[in-house]
Structure 1
């Protein structure tokens, strides 16, 4: 998602988070079509042209064919492409006889779907953005390679430490869909939440609101000064969950989010969901949402917010890089966990959503999958992680990589938010497991309609529960559950 992209994204994200996701900065809304799903089912068998295995050595633990071409397709979103290009240079230095074909696109699905169908996909893909391929479908159709060999390989920096032992908590588990195999490596580490200017909050003589009554009071104060309380990506309202989902988890406990992910009957009818929907609907009803927000895309809403037209925006940590050209130097960017309702909430203030974003995959039919995994091994080194963090103002899946580099305001705030959250970090999986349900149905047809005032909270709950029930009964899609 980041920009899944998010979802996200440099998801950043949905991805991110890709997630998300995404992770991931998310681009235009285009979702996997039925044609894509059926095409995956009938894609070609193993490529006849797979590269022969290379010689396994201490420097080449994945036995990469040293002269085989390696193809890497990167999502060109909120995190840009420079970090990928820099990592490719290291691959080329380590394998001087190999050629690397590196390209970027925002249209991951429409660009790569035909190649999956033909059994001729690239070796490494940053599967992020709004045109993210549905990973639940790819796993279900056996289109992805298990990346356990990468995780069990010696890390790039320390041969006595496996790659898996250098990763942040939750990264390996996020790549699992059904059992022990790992299908996805989320490269960015995204902090989702409510983003704001500390300078603007100070000008109102306010602290970040911890309860919803306090939130409404801050929004009222902002309104009196001619500033909206909130804006969001109205055209892509699946950004709203970046703060709404962890709020639901805070109010009702993480088991409410697990039930939603598991597509359990009546999961959306839990009182915590209803309460949080009603809270967000109050922002609309009281006129605290920037006028015209339902017609804004992610860039337009972020720009309006950076210009001081709105105080708060739900987003992922890719926003600092994606909006760098419009955020004023003295903005003092900060992120907080979502406000709760009151002291009866199940989890304390500080509960937030943080997870892997920018989902990287190695296709099952890649010609040089070992090369794709080796490229990821390079990217999970301390030097590559520091390079990413320095250049794009975001953390990576590598557990470290911040020593000795000066962190930007948003990143400093994100690290502090993670420390405050402690064990109270939630990780909703809908955006990974059911991309179409999350973006098109829950996001656009449900939350988007409610936040625009076209559905009441009760109607939105009923509609979204209906979408979840349809997905639960749909035998054409693979279903996943929290273990």
Structure 2
């Protein structure tokens, strides 16, 4: 067996382990591998100084790939200018197809230096870590901030940011840059026209949807092609009904977790939206952009989403829309957690591939992103909070972001942050998301949805090829 055959075999082995290699693509990927070449040659680092704490080679170039989604790419281009003021030039690329664009490069060993691993085509970070494709970011955490040499990066991050980037150990592999508030988004203007308030109980929700229906307005729409968006309201709804330990059991793949009474009640409640005709017609076949556009047009009152939506939907949002977010509507007074309970967490993940040419440069770019200039720029450009404490203080916030900040403040300690979407991406997005999609389209009843979710979770728990996590 020659060197090319060995390379080909190792390539296929790595791709399969990462869950990156689909059967139809195998021929193309293996033919690329057998051609020789590929792989990054590490550049030598620079001298570590007070001004260059990570030891960046000041002449070396840097490559950054950004997910061009709800936050766009301008904030990154602005950070490039700061980087280039002291170091080498930055090669920038932006795409919505992170996995399609980058998985062949990761498999071949020549990834970019920074990846904004986000969107519907995000790569499975847990698998990348297991295959030693992601660089630990602890050197970044222990570096001084750009603005205060006596303060470490780790000391300015919002609580939970470091934990969110850890996967079964003490090392942080992923920097979740934005701080996202998930919930039920709506137009205050639309509610005012109906002369209703945001519903705090499910009976109130059904009453508001019924009134909207009489006016030719749907109660809800959602990203039917990306049904995991429903988790943004469904997961905290489950926690409200049954308490935070229900989500903990789901995260830990505990037997019977999805059969908890809180899950059944949540599924029954959401299914009632379908059964009563409160879902915008055609919703199961549209994506996030299309659903947001229909919502902006006043075709539906409510949409499950995250706080990136204000920037992502700004081109179609009317000037008088008055975008707002609220915690998911409670079931009733028997709920274990208060109405103010919300899902909020550090999000929008960035990683530095371990086989990148310029690992120190990649970390330095992230250090720049965590500086005051970049965090303020990000918030003002895309109407989103960052993972840096107090970074938005004193800034003039748009209506949606101001609302998100108020919701987060009102929640206090009642903030939940499930991990299933980080730890078990396929289970969360495709299997659980697909099951909820089928239920909301009326293809299955809530009881069957519960059964399917539990079966999929059990299959994942028994799959020895999937690394398990626990909280």
TM-score by length of 2: 0.92
Once the two structures are superposed, the pairs formed by residues 257-406 of structure 1 within 5 Å of their partners are 257-406=247-396
Q: 1:108 Cα shift?
A: 0.9
Q: 1:139 Cα shift?
A: 1.2
1:177, 1:480 within 8 Å by CA — same for their partners in 2? yes
Query: Who is 2:16 aligned against?
Result: none
Q: 1:222 to 1:32 in 2, by over 3 A?
A: farther
2:120, 2:226 within 8 Å by CA — same for their partners in 1? no
Once the two structures are superposed, the pairs formed by residues 174-253 of structure 1 within 5 Å of their partners are 174-253=164-243
Q: 1:404 Cα shift?
A: 3.0
Distance 1:389 1:347 in 2: 30
Query: Who is 2:470 aligned against?
Result: 481
Distance 1:279 1:478 in 2: 33
1:229, 1:311 within 8 Å by CA — same for their partners in 2? yes
Runs of 4+ in 1 over 4 A off after TM superposition: 31-37
Gaps of 5+ in 1: 1-30
Distance 2:185 2:278 in 1: 16
Q: What secondary structure, in the 3-state scheme, does the structure 1 residue paired with 2:85 have? A: helix
Q: 1:216 Cα shift?
A: 0.7
The range that moved more, 47-56 or 228-237, is: 47-56
Q: 1:385 Cα shift?
A: 0.5
> In the alignment, does 2:413 pair up with 1:436?
no
Distance 1:91 1:360 in 2: 17
* CA deviation vs aligned residue, 1:338-386 (integer Å, no higher than 9, x gap): 0111111111111011112211001111111110000000000111001
User: Number of aligned pairs?
Assistant: 447
Q: Which has the larger radius of gyration?
A: 2
Distance 2:100 2:193 in 1: 46
Q: 1:34 Cα shift?
A: 5.2
Q: What secondary structure, in the 3-state scheme, does the structure 2 residue paired with 1:240 have? A: helix
Q: 1:405 Cα shift?
A: 2.1
Distance 2:96 2:277 in 1: 35
Distance 1:32 1:456 in 2: 33
Compute the RMSD of aligned alpha carbons.
2.0
> In the alignment, does 2:150 pair up with 1:150?
no
1:47, 1:367 within 8 Å by CA — same for their partners in 2? no
2:76 to 76, 80, 84: 84
* CA deviation vs aligned residue, 1:425-448 (integer Å, no higher than 9, x gap): 11111111111111111112x000
* CA deviation vs aligned residue, 1:319-347 (integer Å, no higher than 9, x gap): 11111011110011000000111111111
Query: Who is 1:458 aligned against?
Result: 447
Distance 2:468 2:61 in 1: 36
2:39, 2:108 within 8 Å by CA — same for their partners in 1? no
Distance 2:450 2:20 in 1: 25
1:64, 1:371 within 8 Å by CA — same for their partners in 2? yes
Query: Who is 1:5 aligned against?
Result: none
Once the two structures are superposed, the pairs formed by residues 53-92 of structure 1 within 5 Å of their partners are 53-92=45-84
Distance 2:134 2:109 in 1: 12
Query: Who is 1:469 aligned against?
Result: 458
1:449 to 420, 438, 454: 438
Q: 1:387 Cα shift?
A: 0.2
Query: Who is 1:51 aligned against?
Result: 43
More helix by share: 2
Q: 1:48 to 1:416 in 2, by over 3 A?
A: closer
